Structures are given as structure tokens and as C-alpha cells.
Amino acid sequence: MSPLWIVRRIGFYVLITVVLAFFAVPMLWLASAPFDTKPGLGLRWPDWTFANVSATFDHPFTLSSLVNSLILCAIATVVTTVLAALAAYALSRVRIPGRDLLLYLLLLLSSVVTGTAAMVPIFVMMLQLGLINSQFGTALVIAGGMLPAAIFILKDFVDAVPRSYEESACVFGASPRQVLSHVVLPVARPGVATIFVWAFVNAWGNFLLPFLLLRDVGQQPAAVLLRTLYDEGGSANLTVIPVFSLLYSIPVVVLYLFVSKRYGFRFHGGIKS
């Protein structure tokens, strides 16, 4: 063990510590501020209390906004997963005329037309359709934005299911519906689960579209309410914000833990090099 080696090792661990601190320090606020008697925009060892929690539950819109988030997210996620699964299956198994062009266009669309680039026409369209303040309409807009990428990722998963499974099932007289529900779906389940979680996390955190399209506070999801708590009345409502941030983050963290335990957080070929 030469001195150079020791210096290198120390340098290495200093670097790792700095990176660890860079990623960890901002998150500590989420653990300390909710339970502090005087929560602020800064980090300090909390003066423990649960008063903020009850204050948050007493706030007229916190719980309803979480319910709104859940509704919005459930519609967007289910629509995305079901429609993407059907489309991915058909596109993977049947040579529909123009299929390759369609797939190419989908890939192009999913990257080019983003919510930010198309916010003006989406807003104007929903305004003219009278769908401003409609949760269902907003959920469909979110789903429409996620669908191309979802179809693409899922098609990769379905492509990996061997066709011989379905052929054997057909030989034994299974109907297309039976093939789908008893053969393809069980084998492609990790793919469907991936899309479900991906869509949920995306829809749950989406700020821009509900911010644009849901102007009535009774319809707004947690993402938008959290912003309102910050700038309404000129000053941030720091009693409610930390606890509410924590509550709102829990589903995402739980899903993350579930996915990393069950499947491991890795890329499985969905991304091509």
C-alpha cells in the first residue's frame, strides 16, 4: 500500500461523500420541517411536534386535493396502461399496413410534442371545448401525452414474449381472448407493471397541465395546491407546506420502494443504445 494509493482512496471517499451530501442534504428538509414547531425554508434540528400535522388536516383543501390527485392519476394511469397494452400487443403481433411508419411517427411525437411546447393550443382547445376545470378532460390530456412512449416501451416487452407460447395455445383451440388473458398477459406482466408505475409517477407529479387546465381550487390536485400554498396571500403557509409535501410524496416513495424491491431499478432494454 503505497502512500499514493492511500491518497487516492481518501480522495475517492471524499468525492463519494460530497456526492452523497449533494443528493441527501436537500431531502433532509422533508424529514425535519414537518415536525418542527417553527418550520421554515431551511434546515435545523426540529423542536418536535405533531401540531403541523393536525393543522394540515384542518386546512380546507389539503385532503380534497389529495383525493383529486388520486382521481386524476387513476384515470390517466388506467387509460394509458389499458390503451397502450392493447395497441402494443396488436402492433407487436400483427403486420398492420403502415405499421413501421406509425411506430416511427409515435416515437417522433412522444419526444417532440411536449406539454410545454403545446401548452397554448392545449389550453385554447380545452377552453373552447368548455373542459377547463374538468378533471376527466385533464386526465385524458395527460394520458394522451404519455401514450406514445408507453406504447413504445410496452411493445418492447411484448416483442420479447415468444410467439410459440401463443401458437401452442392456438393449436389447443384457445380463442384470441383466451390467448391474451391466459398466455400473453401473465408473461408480459412485468412490462405492464412498469408502464403502470411509470404512468402513475408521471401523472402524480404533473404540475403544468393541471395548473393550466384546472383553475378552480376545488378541482385542483396536490401539485397545484402546494404551489398555491406558497404564493397565495403574499407569503408561504409554512405550517401546512412541509407536512403536505410529505403526504403528497409518500405514494411515489412507496411505489419506488416496491419497484426496486420487486424488479430492481434497472433499464431492461427499453432504452436502445
Partner 1 sequence: MDSSGLGVRRAVAFVAPALVLIGIFLVFPALWTLYIGITNYQLTGPAAANPQVVGLDNVLEAVRDPLFTNSVWLTALFVLFSAVIGQNVLGFALAWLLRSVSPWLRRTIEGLVLLSWILPSTVVAFLWFAVLSRDTGTLGLLLGSPETSWLVQYPMTSLIIFNIWRGTAFSMLLYTSALAAVPPSQLETARLVGASGWQTVRDVVFPHIRGHVLTNTLLISLWTANDFTPFLLTSGGPNHQSEVLPVLIYRQALEGGQLGYASAMSLLLLVGNLVIALIYLRLLRRRA
Q: Which of positions 2-31 make contact with partner 1 (CB under 8 A)?
A: 12, 15-16, 19-20, 22-27, 29-30
CB atoms within 10 A of CB 170: 14
Cα dihedral sign, 172-173-176-182:
negative
Determine the interface stretch with partner 1 among 47-55, 57-65, 175-183, 185-193 (rule: CB under 8 A).
Answer: 175-183
Q: Which of 159, 208, 217, 237 binds partner 1 (CB under 8 A)?
A: 208
Q: Residue count at the site for partner 1 (CB under 8 A)? A: 98
* Distance of alpha carbon 199 from the chain centroid: 5
By CB atoms closer than 10 A (0-12, 13-18, 19+), residue 147 is buried
226 binds partner 1 (CB under 8 A): yes
Residues 97-126 that bind partner 1 (CB under 8 A): 97, 102, 104, 106-109, 111-125
| Nearest distance from C-beta of residue 77 to partner 1, angstroms | 14
Residues 28-57 that bind partner 1 (CB under 8 A): 29-30, 33, 40-44
| Nearest distance from C-beta of residue 213 to partner 1, angstroms | 11
Give the span between the Cα atoms of 268 and 154, in whole angstroms: 11
195 binds partner 1 (CB under 8 A): no
What's the Cα-to-Cα distance from 37 to each of 34, 41, 52, 197, 217, rounded to whole Å?
A: 9, 13, 8, 35, 28
Q: Which of 72, 147, 153, 188 binds partner 1 (CB under 8 A)?
A: 147
Give the span between the Cα atoms of 15 and 238, in whole angstroms: 34
